[in-house]
Amino acid sequence: MTEPSIMDRIGPAWRAAAGTDMSRRRFIKLTGASGLAVGLVSAGAAGAATPKGVAGKLKPGQQPGAFVHIDRKGVVTIQINRLEFGQGSQTGLARILADELDADWSSVRAELAPAGEAYKDPAFGLQMTGGSNSIQNSFTQYRELGARVRAMLVEAAARKWKVDAATVRTRAGRLIAADGRSAGYGEMSEAAMALPVPASVTLKKSGEFRLIGKPANRLDAADKSTGRQTFGMDMRRPGMKTVLIARPPHFGGTVASFDAAQAQAVKGVDSAMQVELDRGATGVAIVADGFWPASMGRDRLKIQWKAPAELPDSRKLDAQFGALLGRDGLPARAGDLSGMAGAKKTIKADFHFPFLAHAPMEPLNAVIEMSGTGDGRRCDIWTGTQFQTIDQATVAKILKLKPQQVRIHTMFAGGGFGRRATPTADYLADTARVMKAWLAAGRSEPLKVVWTREDDIRGGYYRPLTMHRAEIGLGEDGRIAAWKHTIVSPSILKGTPFEAFLVKDGVDGTAVEGVADTAYDLPIAVSVHHPAVNVPMLWWRSVGHTHSAFVMETLIDRIAREAGRDPVALRRDLLGKHPRHLAALDLAVRKSGYGKKSLPAGRAWGTAVHESFRSVVAHVVELSIEDGAPTLHRVTSAIHCNLAVNPRSVEAQIEGAVLMAIGTTLDGAEITLRDGVVEQSNFDSYAMPRMPDMPPVDVHIVPSGDPPTGVGEPGLPPLAPAMANAIFALTGKPVESLPIRL
């Protein structure tokens, strides 16, 4: 039993709106490449085939639709249709394809594909990386590609050796005939290229996998340990200038007037230009030879700003949201609350969750370059992005180009956590607007637009400020008689291209996921308010589950205490119809020693389990309070993500999600506003978890052969509530807000 997340609804809705039908994609051979090159093309897609005369000049990976290339030496290069920003999809998808191909893993390379029709998510019709979907949605796609290329190589060998193709085996990049003759894939690649791509192939049975399901190190580990990995921030083009943008102190603010005389006097500063920015704002762009002159120039700008009408303030927002908790909102789930009247005990709790910035380690940036004229006019962008299709369309509109004239080169990104998937394409739209102003000034050099850390922390697109209220009536036997639940959370989808088909009956599913679709068998009614707030907001790793899991999982422990039940036993009772939840919970509990091992004085257990992105994660923590702060001694985790394609990568993602969740508990891990101005600006004011905050984490994976489900996000939601439950066990005082302040 898996509930679709909001991200699962975005794709089909977008596809329907855009009129694209990914099921009509065909497998194709690519022209002009040496060796064997196979890709995908949408039937009837304009411009998908490589133009004549150009093919020979392009590397196989640069040809539209390329997915697999085997050169004469047998090196296999695989195009990855996702951003790699830490989650490990580059390695995972390569291993999936390589397994069906029976490739020699040491000969496999993987590159990030540019924006292109063929690289759209096969389920969504949108090129994107998010919702923990990379492996789950491209699992079959990459297997089918690998199996087809293998079949072509086998057929080529069979014809050359004049034997039945059914008698030709493959193993680690070699073709082997029954009589012992053998050849490497590279040797047979050109002969295979002369054959048609088979219309259908038989995929391996799960017992036949050689790479899938086996732990492997990342393909990029060495480059990332030696400084050789190139990120968007490291991109450089001939003649390129660096741009920093002076942004208004308030969201949607504008430039009333500015004086750039002192900025222009800085050696290395080229120009100062007023530019249009995201959400109707304007600012001043400093164009310079390198970051430091741009920074000095920006510091020396004198700008009179015009503030927008609405200046959000955290104290006022808290009061406004708090007042809404007392009123019924839009119905998100109907439930029978008749049991409330006869309740013997009630639990009433209010919860508060702040705005959060994603703060990926690599601040946002993009390099933009214009070239050509007329129909050959082209815009190249190098950036780390989770949302190529939206970015391409948005940039094209700003620069008055067709989307196919905008080439987005996907760079490795230093984290993202959702920040690089904006429905407004904000950072690339700003980059395009700067280029528009640059062109209008009669200039044409390539530009690198860089966000400083301060620009990033103060730049909005936060996890929304959110409050919950639960009123739970318990019967005489401790059973849950009625549960009234109210959520106040601004919609992140309203005002975006997704609103029309994703905000249903006024309810933004990202605000209520994890509550309205809870796996627990509960008499719960849920309503939601979506107040409009002048702050840009966005999904943040695990989206609504960042708060909903905390609320649900801490309430379960409070109910258990009122009912005199063991919290794990109560969970098991309420999850009876959900075997994956039970499997993850039982595995984490068993491995942790919960209920068997006695803890040192001052330590307590805390447990939580939650489903998100179609996977279930349970955490059991050991926690004490040291100098007034919660201190984790051990985290034992279990994930049910069906088939774990690369168990080592699954472990890494759970470890990372645990750390990011610990970050949300730290004093100072919140974005607040005063009179419309964000009060934090860098890591000295916005708290980050550091090495001493990281406990030992033991990750266990529930064995399964079913098609893979999400991994990047599901580890995050249950960690903070497990900590809160341990604190509740120690102090008897419930924790009702993040960050945790004792």
Partner 1 sequence: MASFKVNGRSVTADVDDSTPLLWVLRDSLNLTGTKYGCGVAQCGACTVHLDGQPVRSCVTPVADVEGASVVTIEQVGSGRIGQAVQKAWVEKDVPQCGYCQSGQVMSAVALLRDNAAPGDADIDEAMEGNICRCGTYGRIRAAIKVAAANLN
Binding site for partner 1 (CB under 8 A): 85-88, 217-218, 220-231, 233-234, 236, 242, 266-268, 289-293, 296, 359-363, 412-417, 452-454, 648, 652, 655-660, 682-684, 688-694, 696-697
Taking the least distance from each CB to partner 1, the nearer of 193 and 411 is: 411
User: What's the number of CA atoms in the CB half-sphere (13 Å) around residue 704?
Assistant: 20
Taking the least distance from each CB to partner 1, the nearer of 449 and 516 is: 449
- The alpha carbon of 383 is separated from its chain's Cα centroid by a whole number of angstroms, namely 16
- The alpha carbon of 594 is separated from its chain's Cα centroid by a whole number of angstroms, namely 32
Minimum CB distance to partner 1, residue 280 (Å) = 28
Angle at 508 between CA 502 and CA 509, to 5 degrees: 85
Minimum CB distance to partner 1, residue 31 (Å) = 35
Give the integer Cα–Cα distance in Å for 544 and 213.
Answer: 30
Taking the least distance from each CB to partner 1, the nearer of 220 and 276 is: 220
Phi, psi of 112 (to 5 degrees): -85, 125
Taking the least distance from each CB to partner 1, the nearer of 3 and 693 is: 693
Tokens of 428: 């690339």
Taking the least distance from each CB to partner 1, the nearer of 221 and 742 is: 221
Give the integer Cα–Cα distance in Å for 568 and 99.
Answer: 39
User: What's the number of CA atoms in the CB half-sphere (13 Å) around residue 569?
Assistant: 7
Q: Are 728 and 557 in contact (CB under 8 A)?
A: yes
Give the integer Cα–Cα distance in Å for 458 and 702.
Answer: 41
Minimum CB distance to partner 1, residue 217 (Å) = 4
Minimum CB distance to partner 1, residue 705 (Å) = 24
Minimum CB distance to partner 1, residue 738 (Å) = 17
Tokens of 476: 């005489």
How far is the first Cα of the chain from the last one, in angstroms, to the nearest whole number?
A: 38
- Which amino acid does the sequence have at 107? S
Q: State how beta strands 503-504 and 507-508 pair.
A: antiparallel
Minimum CB distance to partner 1, residue 682 (Å) = 5
Taking the least distance from each CB to partner 1, the nearer of 149 and 233 is: 233
Q: Which residues contact 719 (CB under 8 A, 6 or more apart)?
A: 608, 619, 621, 635, 657, 658, 661, 662
Taking the least distance from each CB to partner 1, the nearer of 292 and 595 is: 292
Taking the least distance from each CB to partner 1, the nearer of 174 and 420 is: 420
Residue closest to 488 by CA, chosen among 463, 510, 512, 466: 466
Taking the least distance from each CB to partner 1, the nearer of 17 and 221 is: 221
Minimum CB distance to partner 1, residue 660 (Å) = 6
Specify the residue for token string 């759970």.
654
Minimum CB distance to partner 1, residue 681 (Å) = 9
Residue closest to 614 by CA, chosen among 586, 647, 639: 639
- The alpha carbon of 309 is separated from its chain's Cα centroid by a whole number of angstroms, namely 33
Minimum CB distance to partner 1, residue 41 (Å) = 31
